[in-house]
A and B are shown apart, each in its own frame.
Chain A
């Protein structure tokens, strides 16, 4: 799986988590669920964003390294 595929999969996984959480919230609506959302669910997205930023950087670097160190004039 390339970093770009991993990025797409990670975004999908986060979306699926949010959808399932929203569904759960419609059956669980009290202070405990609000606390759980704030302390657990909402903490995940910024961490995923940070990882995605790293995935993007690493994708760019891998392209650069392959370009600079690969052999583009084989005979």
Chain B
């Protein structure tokens, strides 16, 4: 049996979403900043440094020439005596060493410029998994959390006690009475011609894409009011021609949130939605009263559904086109694909 969702509030989902967004923002800044550093060093190596060292080599060559000229000048001045050029020769040696270092640096820059491009690529490769998290996985996780929050919101809304009281104004009371009379009349008509009334429920099923969006959180505990067929009815239903094979436990069923707490529901098996990761059985469960107000759709697995309402298993075996109506454990009708009632006539033999 599927475990119920244990989440105390939608705010938890929102907090997780905010935490992911904050992380993505900060991590994005860090990546951008280091990437900018790498780019800056690349430009420094390819643009600024070559020009700098070219200029510096020329300047130091000139300094070497100037030091040599100073020695010559002193030698001329002292001629024919030998000149004391110890200091000048030391200066020349120092300028030559500075020139050598500049030439060496020029070589280093020439070596590093293309190598830095490779290092930049390696750096990007090392950060690619985090970039993937920031630009693909976190947005996907956010979308997943949004979907969860939406479904939970709908679920909590449906769980909330009804707020539309019938007490208050006379008009409201009259409306309620009128609704009750209308309901009785519809039920009488339904008893006489189940296909006429219940067949129209086929029009109130969600679009195919809504019937296959499997929720991310587990099926919460339903307040299932519609019951399940009695053992006798289950026996009779299982002998009907419409009864086929049981769907797999991991195939899916779409359930209207309202149907999970209404006492009068219909189960209709539509053509399966095929494609993508769909494991659709084609089954949809909706409310008989105000069937147009679905209150959101929950897609759950057969296993999750039967984990909570085991007795529905016999109905899930019915073939495509079947529509069954269940009211507080009583099978009101089973319609075949042509909307012929096969329950009252060919099923239990008892019109409920």
Interface positions of A from 1 to 34, Cβ below 8 Å from B: 1-3, 5-7, 9-10, 12-14, 16-17, 20-21, 23-24, 27-33
How far in angstroms is the closest Cβ of chain A from B39? 11
A69, B115: Cα distance in complex, Å = 13
Write the nearest CB–CB distance from B55 to chain A, whole angstroms: 11
> C-beta contact mask, B120-149 vs A, less than 8 Å → 1, else 0?
001101110110110001100100100010
Q: Determine the distance from Cα of A50 to Cα of B31 in the docked complex, in whole angstroms.
A: 12
| Shortest distance between the CB of A50 and any CB in chain B (Å) | 5
Asked if A32 and B8 make an inter-chain contact with CB atoms under 8 angstroms apart, the answer reads no
Q: Are A27 and B119 in contact (CB under 8 A)?
A: no
B26 at interface by CB-CB < 8 Å: yes
Q: Are A51 and B9 in contact (CB under 8 A)?
A: no
- Contact, CB under 8 Å: A9 / B8: no
Contact A58 B119 (CB under 8 A): yes
Interface of B is mostly: helix
As a 0/1 sequence over residues 48 to 60 of chain A, the CB contacts with chain B under 8 angstroms (1 = contact) are 1011011101100
**Is B290's beta carbon under 8 Å from chain A?**
no
Q: Is the CB of B127 within 8 A of A44?
A: no
Does the CB pair B129–A51 fall under 8 Å?
A: yes
Per-residue A-contact encoding for B28-47, CB less than 8 Å = 1, 0 else: 01110110011001001100
Of residues 28 through 50 on chain A, the ones whose CB sits less than 8 Å from some CB of chain B are: 28-33, 35-36, 40, 43-44, 46-48, 50
When the two chains form their complex, are residues A29 and B6 in contact, meaning their CB atoms are under 8 A apart? Answer: yes
Determine whether the beta carbon of A58 is less than 8 Å from that of B34: yes
Stretch of B80-88, B105-113, B158-166, B311-319 at the chain-chain interface: B105-113
Across the interface, B7 reaches (CB within 8 A) one of A28, A44, A47, A58, namely A28
How far is B132's CA from A47's CA once the two chains are assembled, in angstroms? 9
Stretch at the interface among B11-19, B171-179, B191-199, B243-251: B11-19
Number of B interface residues in the complex (CB < 8 A): 56
**A44 and B116 within 8 A (CB):** no
Q: Is the CB of A40 within 8 A of B137?
A: yes
Given contacts A13-B23, A51-B126, contact A73 B7 (CB under 8 A): no
Chain A residues with Cβ below 8 Å from B34 are 1, 3, 6, 54-55, 58
B128 to chain A, nearest CB (A): 8
Asked if residues B31 and A65 are in contact (CB atoms below 8 Å), the reply is no
In the assembled complex, the CB of B215 is this many whole angstroms from the nearest CB of chain A, namely: 9
| Interface presence of B76 (CB below 8 A) | no
B27 beta carbon closer than 8 Å to chain A: yes
Structural contact, B217 and A32, CB atoms closer than 8 A: yes
Contact among B9, B19, B31 for A16, CB-based, below 8 A:
B19
Take A51-B126, A58-B119, A58-B123 as given contacts and tell me if A16 and B108 are in contact as well, using a CB distance cutoff of 8 Å.
no
The residue that A51 contacts in the complex, of B5, B20, B31, with Cβ under 8 A, is: B31
- State whether B129 touches A46 (Cβ < 8 A): yes
Residues of B contacting A17 in the complex (Cβ-Cβ under 8 angstroms): 19-20, 22-23
Would you call B119 and A61 a contact (CB within 8 A)?
yes
A30–chain B nearest beta-carbon distance, Å: 4
Nearest CB in chain B: distance from A54 CB, A: 3
Question: A56 to chain B: closest CB distance in Å?
Answer: 10
Nearest CB on B from A25, distance (A): 9
Identify 12 residue pairs between A and B in the complex whose beta-carbon atoms are under 8 Å apart, listed by A's number. Answer: A1-B29, A5-B33, A17-B19, A24-B15, A40-B138, A44-B23, A47-B133, A48-B130, A51-B27, A51-B30, A53-B126, A62-B41
